[in-house]
Amino acid sequence: MENASLPVNCPIARFVFSESQISRQNNRVKDGAFLPIFSKENNRWETSVFRVDGLAPQDVVDLGVREVESKRQTPPLRLLAWGENSSQDYADQKLTMRVDEPPHRHKVALGWPVEKDKQKIIAKQIARHSTLHLR
């Protein structure tokens, strides 16, 4: 399923586990939090996100802890925050969302260019529109 399966303004969360990816002072998520990783399994650049429509903030925390934090063994990390965007923020950057369940509500943002400098430009635009939510 691509972006068409999501409402235009569907809230999307990118979970953050590193202090270096947020600025508490400026109350924002940094660009690096949105950069894709290369999936050898799928042979593509992707960013893991979760659909959080209809969830209260504590439910988003619970989702992040249950589906991501508890499964990260090496190194064990603690959910610190999440950046929330609308699905449109990704679509505006020509990225598409593909359902990638399990876990429930998981999506991957696809369509990233191969060039690192272009990835950084896209990540910067997404971060600019993101709202920081601290755990």
32-91 pLDDT per residue, tens:
999 999 999 999 999 999 999 999 999 999 999 999 988 876 677 899 999 999 999 999
pTM of the model: 0.90
How far apart CA 15 and CA 70 sit, in angstroms, is: 13
What's the mean pLDDT when you consider all of the chain? 92
Domains held by the chain: number = 1
- What residues make up the domain containing 84? 3-134
- 16 close to 31: Cβ distance less than 8 angstroms: no
What pLDDT does residue 1 have? Answer: 40
* 102 prior amide bond cis, ω within 30: yes
What pLDDT band is residue 29 in, cutting at 50, 70 and 90? very high
What pLDDT does residue 2 have? Answer: 43
